[in-house]
């Protein structure tokens, strides 16, 4: 599967979160998914994690910070 559209990226991340996270917020996910088709759509990882309670991506700021993802997400985006 090749992911090149924002809507596809959001759908993929949402699917993985629904499968792996009991506390994933579906209502917030639907908001992101509906907005992803517009030209003015912007989303940060921090916003995604905070609003949806996502666990598949971790963002740490500061020294030794970075963005970390579960293997399913990381391997999908490097292929």
Residue 75 has pLDDT above 70, yes or no: yes
Distance CA 15, CA 78 (A): 18
The H or E element containing residue 30 is: helix 26-35
The H or E element containing residue 68 is: strand 66-69
Q: What is the pTM of this model?
A: 0.79
Residue listed under structure tokens 């907005």: 35
pLDDT over 70, % of the chain: 94
Mean pLDDT of the chain: 87
Residue 39 confidence (pLDDT): 81
The H or E element containing residue 60 is: strand 57-60
User: Mind listing the pLDDT tens digit for each residue in 7-44?
Assistant: 888 899 999 999 999 999 999 999 999 888 788 888 88
């Amino acid at each position: 599967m090749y992911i090149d559209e924002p809507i596809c990226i959001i759908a993929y991340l949402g699917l993985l979160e629904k499968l792996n996270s009991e506390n994933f917020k579906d209502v917030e996910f639907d908001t992101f998914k509906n907005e992803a088709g517009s030209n003015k759509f912007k989303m940060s990882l921090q916003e995604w994690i905070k609003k949806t309670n996502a666990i598949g991506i971790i963002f740490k700021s500061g020294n030794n910070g970075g963005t970390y993802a579960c293997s399913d997400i990381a391997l999908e985006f490097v292929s």
